[in-house]
Amino acid sequence: MASHFLAPTYTVRTLAVFAVISSLAPACSGARTREALTTTTPSQSGGVPFVRATPVSWSPPSVELIFDGTTPVRMTGVRYTSNWVTARGNWTKSAGVPVEWPAPQAVHASARATLVLGTSAPPELVLIKVYPNVDPQSGEPTSDPSATYQCNRFSEPRCAFSTPSDKITVGDLPSDIVTAPYITVFCTWFVPPDQQGSGQSPHSYASASWLFRTRLSQQSIGGWGMSEITVLPERSEEAAHWILERRLGYWSLPGQRTPVCAVVPTEFEAYCRLLHPALRVSNGHAVGVRWENIARELGVELQGDTAWDDLASGDAAFSGLWHQAPRTGSLSKEEVTALVDLLRPSTGTGEECTFAVWDGYGGSDLDRQWPGAARLRLPGRTYVLLKGAIEAATVSDDVPEPGLPTFDQSANIWWPGDVAWCVATDIDLCWTYVGASRQCIDQIIADPRLEALQVHGNDPVPDPPIGR
């Protein structure tokens, strides 16, 4: 039976509902708790406030989150559950697994958000809970909420409702709510007697919950901006042929583990694993958080094979140090800039570099953008080949999304003409591998702008598996 992690089916026995929703605490592998709505019972002589007769929607209303900014972002929530019975029908939806989270939409860390309910009836309760991570199979949160927002119609804290165009809005939501990756919204409404179905209790309530997903725009932490650096299509597949000759196979280690050198080619003197930072929202801005700081807080030893899930799963899933998991498949501008500074002295062909960009990013039309560009084809991955000076690594591919501004995307694999080093960021991983000389790798590990750990070519890539 599915774990209803936000709002269960319940029957309200009184008119005085000043709701408190119990905290969610389902672990993917542990016991799951069911939230309950607590009620209080008024005295027998107590009257019913006249304002409670506000007509409710006959069916669950739509719910939106609207983020302000230069290009406003409007998200429509996906209804997760509902216990909605009126004289015109029964719109009951039970919790299911896997949880059908919507696709994430990018928002700026400094954006302010407004909750918009598609009804003119003010709810008795608005409860928003957000989560840093969900289980990849069930879609259920793997920890307690990282933040909670609640307001009520008649008791403190009261909702600051406004009613433009027959809608109910709740504005100025806290930044730690609106910038979390997994957002749940739960609301309850009193159903007036003239809208109740036959046999319903005279003290009936309707409730529903909705799901949203966000991701922080890279531009919100220092966008890459305009560039006059020249990037051209690489028209010869031979430029990347050496990678095919010098890479190990996926799942070629015992236990079908994937070696480091299936991501970055073999024959380099040394290798390191560059950890992408997690993100924390502070004063409306997203700042990077090093893995070592999170590991120290959790009492976990950070090693070359530590997976992000080792820091982000189980009871210690949210330490308060981070709000969004590290980005997969791309380096930030700051990381790329630091690498360019360190890698340029290690090659004699810094003006002749090749950049491989995965051709599967949604909304991107690389054939139109780079006509005639050759391809690098690896198992489960096809990359468009571009060329330019090493500084071109700092030029975003600017992957567009319908209705949204473009977002920065670094090259997935890049190397100089003399193949003195290679940088590889697989689309499924929240870290990057670098192969180079021992001296160069030591400099990368020592640089305070980066967080890197030494690894070896035959080390297994931490889960999740890639290339399938």
Domain boundaries, the chain: 50-216, 220-276+327-455
The pTM of this model reads: 0.55
Asked if residues 435 and 425 have their Cβ atoms less than 8 Å apart, the reply is no
Instruction: Please report the pLDDT score of residue 322 as a whole number.
Output: 84
Residue pLDDT, tens place only, 259-273:
999 999 999 999 999
pLDDT of 81 = 95
- Residue 406 and residue 364 in contact, taking contact as beta carbons nearer than 8 Å: no
Residues contacting residue 50 through CB under 8 Å, at least 6 positions apart: none
pLDDT for residue 18: 28
pLDDT at position 72, please? Answer: 82
pLDDT score recorded for residue 217: 55
Q: Is the pLDDT of residue 75 over 50?
A: yes
* Distance of alpha carbon 233 from alpha carbon 241, whole angstroms: 16
Separation of alpha carbons 330 and 433, rounded Å: 12
The beta strand positions in 362-458, using DSSP E, are 375-378, 381-388, 399-401, 404-407, 413-416, 422-424, 431-436, 452-455
Who contacts 136 (Cβ-Cβ below 8 Å, separation ≥6)? Answer: 464
Whose tokens are 């005085």? That residue is: 16
Show the tokens assigned to 164.
């433009």
Nearest Cα residue to 376 out of 237, 235, 231, 233: 237
Q: Which residues pair with 286 in a beta bridge?
A: 281
CB 353 within 8 A of CB 390: yes
Task: Give me 395's structure tokens.
Answer: 């030029």
The two three-digit tokens of residue 314, written as one number: 């189980």
pLDDT surpasses 60 at 467 = no
Q: Give the chain's end-to-end CA distance (angstroms, integer).
A: 30
Which residue is associated with the tokens 């989560």? 131
CA-closest candidate to residue 286, choices 251, 238, 319, 334: 334
pLDDT for 33: 29
pLDDT per residue over 162-177, tens digit each? 877 789 999 888 877 8
User: Is 235:372 a contact under the CB 8 Å cutoff?
Assistant: yes
Tell me if 67 sits within 8 A of 73, measured CB to CB. Answer: yes
Query: How many CA atoms, within 13 angstroms, populate the side-chain half-sphere of residue 248?
Result: 21
Which segment of 35-39, 81-85, 271-275 scores lowest on mean pLDDT? 35-39
How large a percentage of the chain has pLDDT more than 90? Answer: 45
Tokens 């180079």, residue located: 436
359 Cβ partners below 8 Å, 6+ apart? 366, 375, 382, 383, 384
The answer for residues whose C-beta is within 8 angstroms of residue 228's C-beta and 6 or more apart is none
Measured in whole angstroms, the distance separating CA 401 from the mean position of its chain's CA atoms is 15
Range of lowest pLDDT (13-17, 60-64, 348-352, 446-450): 13-17
Phi-psi region of 263 (alpha: psi -120 to 50; beta: other; left: phi over 0): alpha
Read off the tokens for 158.
Answer: 């009261």
